[in-house]
Structure 1
Amino acid sequence: MAHEQSFAFDAEGTSVRPESRGQPDDLGHEPTHRFFGELLDRAGCDASAVLQLDVWRDSSHTHVAVAGTAPTAAFARVQAAYTRSAFEHAAAGMELYDAELRVLRSNAAALRIRGRTAAQVLHRPVADLDGSLPASRLLREVVQGPDQVAERFVSVPTKGAGHRVYRVTAMCLRDGGTVVGAATFIHDVTGESRSHAAERLLSAAHRRIGTTLSAARTSQELASTLTEDFADAVSVDLVDGILHGTEPPGAPLDASTPLRRTAFESPGGLDGVYAVGEPSHFLFPTPYTQVLGDLTARLVDPSAALADWLMHDAARAGALRAARVHSMIVAPLVHQDRVLGLACFYRGPRHPVPFDAQDLALVEQVMAKASAHIENARRFTREHTTAVTLQRRLLPRSLPEVTAVTTAHFWRPERRRTAWFDVLPLSSARVALVIGEVPEQGLDASVDMGLLRTAVTTLAGLELPPEEVLAHLDDVVPRLGLADTACGPVDTRTADERARCQYCVYDPVTGDLAVASAGWPGPLVTAPDGAVRELPVPRGPALGSGVGYETARTRLAPGSVLTLYSASLLREPPCDEPAARLRHAVAAAPGDAQGTCDTVVYRMMGGPRERGAAVLTAATHRLAGDCVATWTGSRDPAGVAACRRWVRERLARWELTDRAFATETIVSELVTNVLRHASGEPCVRLIKDGGLTVEVSDRSATAPHLRHARAQDENGRGLLIAAALARRWGTRYSDDGKTIWVEQDMTDADVI
C-alpha cells in the first residue's frame, strides 16, 4: 500500500525506492503530478481524498514518505494537528528514538519523569539515561527480537527515599521491512502498583494466617507472610498467658506482664534480640511500650535525632544498627481492647524505601485479622486445657495395687477422640482392666467420658462377665446421649463416631483371662520368653449398635504382660507398619509392665508429630497354691460343724487365728443357707491375698436376699450377720450356679 511506503527522487526526477538499491521504480520519469496521482490510486483514494506526505532531502536524493491519508482536506488538517498536540501535551511520557536508539524527541511528561531538560536528553543514547528511567534493555528487545511491542514495569527511586513505578511500553518502528527507530509510552502506575501489592498482601494474609488453632503458629504465619515482599524482618511477641489460654489483659499493659517471643522471620539474615520461645522485655519509654499503652500503631524512624529512645535500650539499638534498619512499624495485637501482644516490622537494605502512611494502614488491616485468629486460638487453648484438666481428673489418679497384676499406664489427650482407662478390683482377687474412648474432644467429650467410666465401674460391681458388661453399656449409651451435640443421634452415626470399649477380667487363681471388645483392637500378650501374640478377640461393633458381643477366653502363663492400647497408635500410613513396630516394642521388656509401657511410648509416639494415646500394661501374677483352700460338703446339716473345723485349721496354718471366730460364723451361716434354700452341695473356698475372701457356691440361681429379721424371728439373720462381719460382700453367677463371696479386712483384729 502506498501509505506504508517511502520513495526517493534522484537529480533527474527518477523515483527510486530505498529497498531497490538505486534501481528505477516502475513509475520511471512520470511527471510529479502524475506520480502523486498514481500514489493516490494505489492508496485506493477517491478524487476528494488527501494524501499526507513527509518530504526530506539528503546529499543525493529527495525522499518522500507517505504519512497517511484522509478523506478530506479538513480531516487531514485536524489529523496533523492532533499528531503534533498529542505528543506534546500527552499525560503519558512519549519518546522517539532512531535506529541506534538515540533520543530524537521527548515530550514534556517524559522529561518530568526523567527529571531532566530537553538539552540533557535529546540526541543522547538511551542507555546513558537509564539512571533516570531504565528503558534501554526493553528497547533493544523490541528492535532486535521477534516481538515488535513489549511492556515492562520499572521502579525508579525518588529524592525523598521513595520510589515511583512506571509501565513502559516499547514499540519498534519500521518502514517496510527496515527498522528505522523505536518509540516508548511511559505511564506512572505507582498508585495502581501499590494497590495491587496491597491486594496481594491481604490475599496472602487471608490464605496463610490462621490455618491452625495455635497462637504460636499464627504468629509465625504472620511473620512469614509479611517478610516476602513487605519487610526485611518481622518479630511477634505475645502476652505469655495467651499461649496458655488465660484472659488477655487490658491496656495499658503493665510493665510486669510477661511477654514471649513467638515468631521472628528475616529472609535477609537479620538477627533478633530474643530467640523464639524466650521471654521478651521492652523498656520504658520506647515506641514498644507506647504502643502497648495506647494501642496505636506507629511509624518509627530509628535514625531520627539519633532516636533518643534507643538510649534506654542498648541491646536493641545495637541490633538495629547491625541490621542497618532505617524504618520500622510497631503495631499492637488487640482484640476488643484487650492486649494480645505486639508485632514489629523492620526495613533495611533489602527494602530501601521506608514505610509510609499507606504501609501503616495496610499493617493495621493485617493485624486486625491476625488478632482475631490469635484470640480464636487462645479460646481454643483455654477450652482444650479445661477439657484436658477435666479428663485428667476423671481418670484414676493412681491405679489400685492388687495382687493379680502390676500395672503401668500412659495417657495423652488426642485431637479428635477422648480415651480413658481403668483398673477395677473385683471379688476373689480378680481384676478388671478397661480401656475405651468417646468421639470428639472438648468439655462435652470429657463429660461423656466420665459418664461412660462411671457406667463401667457400676457394671463391674455387679460381677457380670465381659460380654454382659458391654451389652449393658450398649443399652446405656443411647440413653446417656453421648456427644449428641457433636455427632448427632446415636443411631445416625458412623462406626467411627461412636464410643468404643474393651473389657478384660483376669483371675489370678487360675490365670484365666476373659476379654470382650466393642470396636477395639485385641490386646497384645507378651509371654515370659518375649514372644508376642494378639489375642483373637471377636471385635464387636462400637457401642450403641444394638448388637451382642462375644467373650474370648484364654489362660496366661505366670509373668505374662497384657498390653491394652488405643487405636491412635496404629493410625499411620500402611507403609510405616505401625502394628509390627508395636509388637517389637511390647517384646522389648518381657515381664515388666512399666518397661513395656515406656518402650511403647518411646517407640510409637516419638518424632515431631505429637499425638494422643492411652496405653495400659499389666504384668499378671498367680496366687501361690497355699493361698487358696477349697472344701466341698454334703447336704447333711452335720457337715457344717466339719466345715467350721476345717476353717479353723486353715486359718491357723495361715496365722490368722484372730479372724477365726468371724470367718467360722460367716461360713456357718452361708453353708446353712445353702442347705436350707438352695440345691446342690455347698462348696467353700478361702482366698488369702490382700484380704481374706470367703466364697460359698451352690447349684442354685436364686438371688440371696438380705433380710432384717424381727426380734421374735428365729431365723433370717444369716446373710445379715455375714454382711456385718465383712468389708464387702456380693454375688456372682455362672453357668452352673452362683457364688456368694464375703471379703474381710485383715488389718483389724478380731473384736468378737
Structure 2
Amino acid sequence: MEHVDEAGAARVTVSGDATVTGWNDGARRLLGYPPSEVVGRSAAVLLAEPVWSVMARAREVRARWDGTLALRHRDGRRVEVALLAHRTGDGWLLVAPMPADDTPAPSDATLLTWAYAQSPCPMAVYDTDLRLRNANAEMTRVIGLPEGDLQGLRLTDIGGKLRSEGLEALMRHVLRTGERRHVETYPRTGGEEREHAWSAHFAPLKARDGEVHGVCLAAHDITEQYRARQRLVLLSEASVRIGSTLDIDRTAQELADVCVPRLADFVTVDLLDRLDQDEELPPGPLTGPIVLRRAAHRSVYETAPEAVVGPGQVDTYPEVSPMAECLVAGRPIIYATDDPVIRAWVALKPARGAKIQEFGIHSIMAVPIRARGTTLGVAVFSRHRTPGPFTQDDVLLAEEITTRAAVCVDNARRFTRERGTALALQRSLLPQAVPRPSAVEVASRYLPAGPYTSAAGDWFDVIPLSGARVALVVGDVVGHGIQASATMGRLRTAVRTLADVDLPPDELLTHLDDLVIHLSAETGGGEATGDIGATCLYAVYDPVSHRCSMAAAGHPAPAVVTPGGPVEFVPLLVGPPLGVGGLPFEAMELELPEHTVLALYTNGLVGGWDRDVDEGRVLLADALAHPAASLEGTCDSVLRALLPEHGVLDDVALLLARTRALDAAHVATWDVPADPSCVARSRKDVTQRLTDWGLDEAVFTTELVVSELVTNAIRHAVPPIQLRLIHDHSLICEVSDASNTAPHMRRARTFDEGGRGLLMVAQLSRRWGSRQTAEGKTIWAEQPLPGAPPDLG
C-alpha cells in the first residue's frame, strides 16, 4: 500500500481535561512545536484568545464545530486558523487545513474535466434543442456507441421513441422551469447484456443570470436495489395471494400465478400423485422415477401452449428429468437447455424437446416443494421471453415463495384428511336410514359445510317411541372437526338412550345438559371449561292424541305449517344451550292436526355471512308456504331457496315431518276395575276387538300379554286402571294405572308361585317397557302383526 501524506492537514487530539494527546507533522508545520513540546501539556498554551471564551463555545458543541480560532505560534505570533472540531468520546479531534505549498497541481478546470470524463456515473449534456452535446466515457459505454456517433442526437433517437418519450418530456420541463427532476427507469440499453435499473437526474445548466442553456443528465445504477425491492414486493404479494383457500390445487395455481411473468415465463407445479391419499408421506428426499400429478401451470401465453401435461394428468418423471433430479437431491437446480440432464430427458420425452425448441426455452429452474420435512412436489420455472438466465438470487426468491406455498399445500392436505376423517365419522354416527314410523312421514337433508370448512357436529334423528309415538330431534354441537363429530355421536347416543326411558322433553334436555357439563369437565381436567357445548330441540308427537310436546336448549324454534294455514314459528321458550347448567328447560305442548308439517333445522340453514337469522326465517317461511308435491321435493325447494350454489358456510340439518293420525277405528280403550275377576272380561274384550280387526292369529299371544299386565296392575298398582290396544304397523297393548312404581322383571325360582309375568311378556313381545305419565305410569308391549315384515325402525 502506498504511503499517504498525513501532513496535508494539521491534526491534534485533545482529551476531556484539555490535555494534548496527539500531534501530527502538519500541526508542527502550522504552529512550529515539535510533538515533544506539546503532547501531555495543556492545550491552553496554544491559544491566542481567552481560555474561557473557547471553553464556552466547546460546551455548546454536541458533535461537530467549525469556525475560526486564534492560535499562538511557537515564535509568538498570532495565527488565525480555520478549524473543524469533532467530539470523540470525552475528547476532541481538531483538524485544520495547511496553506498550499509550491508543489505544482492541476487547475480546478482540469480536475473538473477529468471528473466529468472519468466519472463512474454516466453523464451527458443536452442543449436547449434537447440534442446531445457531450457524453462521458461511462455514458458511451452504457449506450454502446462512441461519443462521435451520439452528438446531435436526441434521447428518442438514441433509446427509441417508445422508451424515451417520457424522459424527453422531463427534460423539456427542466428547460422550461429551471427545476431539477428525478426519475427511475428500467431500460435495456445497447451496451448492456441485461436490463438495468437507473436513477436518472436531470439538472438545468444555468448562466450567471439564471438563463437555462442546457440539461445535464446523470444516471446511477440502482439495479441491485431495484431487484431487491421487486423481490420484496413479489414476496409480499405471494404471502397475500398464496393460500387463500384450503384447496390443494387452488394453492398450487396461486403459486404459478404469482411467479408469472415477474420470475419466469412458464411455471409448472407438480405434486406427488399420492398426496390426496390418507397415507403418511415419507420424510426426506425421494428416490427413483417419480410419479407426479400436474396440479397447476401458468404461462405468459393465455393457453399455456408450452405444457405437455395438462392439469390433473399424471406423468412419470425419470431420474434424468429436472423434476426427479431436484427431488432426489432435495435442493433447487438451475439448468441451461444444453445441459446433459436436459438432453437426456428430451431424448426420452421428444414432445418436451419439441416444446423447448418451439418456444426457445433457454433456462430452467426446478425447486422442491417441501414443508415440515416432507416432500410434496416440485415447481419448475422456465424462461423463453425473458432474455437472462436464472441466477442464484432467483433461486433464493423461488425457494422463499415455494416454501410459503408448500406450507399452504401441506395445511390444505392435512385439513382435507382431517375433514375427510371427521365427515366419515359423522356419517357413521348419523342415521344410516331414517326410520319410517307410522306417526309421521319424514324427509331429511344433511349438508356438510363447504370444502374449506371442517365438518361440524349437526345431527338429526327420528326415534320411534312406545304407544305409536315418535321423537323428532335436531341438534348442533359447538365447533368443527373430529372433536365436534365425536361429541355429536355421544350426544345422539345419549338422546336415544334417554328417549327409550320415555322422559318428557324438558327432563330429557336436563339430563343431556348434565352430560355435556360432564364431557366439558373431562376435557378441562375436572373443571367445566365451556369448550364443549351444543344446542338441541326435542319434540314428541302422539298420533292418537294429535298432541306434540317439545323443548329446546339454545336451538331455534321449529316452523309449523297446518293444512291450509299460514307458516308459523312455534312460540317456544328456548332454554340455554347445553353445557351452561343451572337453568331449567320448559316444555310446551300444542295440538297438530293431521297432515301438519313440522320443520326442524339447524342454524346453518337460516344464517350466513350475507344475512342474519331473521332474514333466513323469512326465506324459510316463504319456501314452506309453497310446498312441492312431496315432502322430499319440499326439502329440495327449501335448500334451493336458502342456500347458495357454491356451498354452505356451516353444516345444515333439515328434518321435515308430516303428521298422521290414528282414529278410533285403530284404537280401543277400556277402563278396568281393580277386581281380579275382571281379568277374564279384559281378555274377552281384547279377543273381540282383534277379531273385528281381522287379527285372529294374534289372539292367543295378546290374551296372555293382557292377562299378565292387567293382573299385575290389579295386584300391585293403584286404580284407575286402563287397558288400550293400538292397531298400527304393529299391535300395541298398554295398561295404565295411577302408581309411579316402575315394574322390574326378575327370574323366578323353581318353586315360586309368581314372578314370571313380565318375563313372559318380554318373551311374547318384540319390545316392552314402561313410561311415566302425569297420572302414574303405563306398561306397554308391542307385537309384530302376523305376516308383517320386520320393523327396521
Relative to the length of structure 2, the TM-score reads 0.77
Provide Cα deviations, 1:576-603, integer angstroms capped at 9, x if missing partner: 9332322233344357332222222333
Whole-Å separation in 2 of the counterparts to 1:248 and 1:136: 60
CA deviation profile, 1:498-548 (whole Å, cap 9, x unmatched): 311111111122222222111111112233448432222222111122211
> Partner of 2:771: helix, strand, or coil?
strand
Q: Which letter maps to 2:174? A: V
Provide TM-score, normalisation by structure 1: 0.81
Call closer, same or farther: CA 1:512–1:147 in 2, change over 3 Å: farther
SS of 1:342's partner is: strand
Structure 2 residue 638 is matched with structure 1 residue 600: yes
1:489-568 map, 5 Å:
490=528, 498-529=533-564, 531-546=566-581, 547-568=583-604
Secondary structure of 1:503's counterpart equals strand
CA distance in 2, matches of 1:275, 1:598: 40
SS at match of 1:658: helix
Change (3 A) 1:418 1:332: same
Are the equivalent residues in 2 in contact too, given 1:210–1:221 (CA < 8 A)?
yes
User: How far off its partner does 1:97 sit?
Assistant: 2.8
Write the letter of the residue equivalent to 1:517. A
- Bigger mean CA deviation after superposition, 188-197 or 711-720: 711-720
Shift in Å, 1:366: 1.6
1:85-484 equivalences under 5 Å are: 85-122=114-151, 124-130=153-159, 134=164, 136-145=168-177, 147-157=179-189, 162-175=194-207, 176-227=209-260, 229-243=262-276, 246-248=279-281, 252=286, 257=291, 259-262=293-296, 264=298, 266=300, 270-271=304-305, 273=307, 278-281=312-315, 284=318, 286-301=321-336, 309-310=345-346, 313=349, 316=352, 325-335=361-371, 338-349=374-385, 351-414=386-449, 415=453, 417-481=456-520, 484=523
| Structure 1 stretch displaced more, 672-681 or 289-298 | 289-298
Distance in 2 between residues matched to 1:637 and 1:127, nearest whole Å: 122
Cα deviation for residue 646 of structure 1 reads 0.7
Alpha carbons of structure 1 residues 190 and 282: separation in structure 2 relative to 1, 3 Å = farther
1:398-438 Cα offsets, whole Å, 9 max, x none, are 12232122322222223363211111111111111111111
**Contact 2:505/2:550, CA 8 A, preserved across alignment:** yes
In structure 2, the CA distance between the partners of 1:122 and 1:621, relative to structure 1 (3 Å rule), is same
Letter in 1 for 2:400: Q
Corresponding position of 1:30: none
Deviations 1:292-325 (A, max 9, x none): 5545434455588996745655655666667665
Deviates more, 1:103-112 or 1:454-463: 103-112
Of residues 623-632 and 534-543 in structure 1, the stretch that sits farther from structure 2 once superposed is 623-632
Task: Give, in angstroms, the shift of residue 483 of structure 1.
Answer: 9.2
Deviations 1:550-594 (A, max 9, x none): 222222222233221110112233389332322233344357332
Q: For 2:196 and 2:298, locate their aligned partners in 1 and report how far apart those are by CA, in whole Å.
A: 30
Shift of 1:716: 3.6
Cα distance change, pair 556–352 in 1 and its aligned pair in 2 (3 A): farther
* Bigger mean CA deviation after superposition, 168-177 or 305-314: 305-314
- Select the residue among 751, 772, 792 that pairs with 1:733: 772
User: Which deviates more from structure 2 when the two are superposed, residues 178-187 or residues 352-361?
Assistant: 352-361
Q: Is the 8 A contact 1:591 1:619 kept in 2?
A: no
Contact 1:444 1:483 in 2 (8 A): no
Aligned to 1:52: none
Deviation string, structure 1 residues 344-399 (Cα, Å, up to 9, x no partner): 334444x4444334323321222122112211221121111111111111112112
Distance 1:233 1:141, change over 3 A: farther
| Displacement of 1:327 | 4.2
Q: Are residues 717 and 530 of structure 1, via their aligned partners in 2, closer, same or farther at CA, if it must alter by over 3 Å?
A: same
Q: Find the aligned partners of 1:182 and 1:564 in 2 and give their Cα distance.
A: 82
CA contact 1:559–1:591 (8 Å) conserved in 2: no
Residue 574 of structure 1 is matched in structure 2 by: 611
Q: Helix, strand or coil for the counterpart of 1:400? A: coil
Identity %: 36
What is aligned with 2:25? Answer: none
**CA distance in 2: counterparts of 1:583 and 1:541, whole angstroms:** 25
**One-letter amino acid of the structure 1 residue matched with residue 171 of structure 2:** L
SS in 2 for 1:550: coil
Aligned-partner Cα distance in 2 for 1:422–1:536: 22
Alpha-carbon spacing, 1:606–1:314, altered in 2? closer, same or farther (3 Å): farther
Distance of 1:521 and 1:609 partners within structure 2: 22
Secondary structure (helix, strand or coil) at the match of 1:744 reads strand
Q: Which residue does 1:23 correspond to in 2?
A: none
Residues 401 and 150 of structure 1, relative CA distance in 2, 3 Å threshold: same
SS at match of 1:281: strand
Q: Secondary structure at the match of 1:401?
A: coil
CA 1:290–1:256 in structure 2 vs 1: closer, same or farther (change >3 Å)? closer
Q: Structure 2: 5+ residue runs without aligned partners?
A: 1-96, 789-793
Contact 1:561 1:591 in 2 (8 A): no
The answer to whether the 8 Å contact 1:440/1:483 transfers is no
Farther off after superposition, 696-705 or 431-440: 696-705
Change (3 A) 1:575 1:680: closer
Name the CA distance, whole Å, in 2 between partners of 1:700 and 1:125. 113
**1:56 matched residue in structure 2:** none
Deviations 1:258-314 (A, max 9, x none): 514345465756446479753243565643454455454344555889967456556
**Which one is further off, 567-576 or 128-137?**
128-137
SS in 2 for 1:450: helix
Number of equivalences? 677
Please, what is the CA RMSD of the aligned residues? 3.6
Flag the 1:74–1:658 CA change in 2: closer, same or farther, 3 A: farther
Q: Kindly tell me: are residues 739 and 423 of structure 1, through their superposed partners in 2, closer, same or farther at Cα, counting changes over 3 Å?
A: same
> 1:617 is aligned with what amino acid?
L
Given the alignment, which residue of 731, 737, 741 partners 1:702? 741
Q: Relative to structure 2, which stretch is displaced further, 734-743 or 261-270?
A: 261-270
Residues 299 and 77 of structure 1, relative CA distance in 2, 3 Å threshold: closer
Q: Deviations over 1:49-78 (max 9, x none)?
A: xxxxxxxxxxxxxxxxxxxxx998889977
Superposed displacement of residue 741, structure 1: 0.9
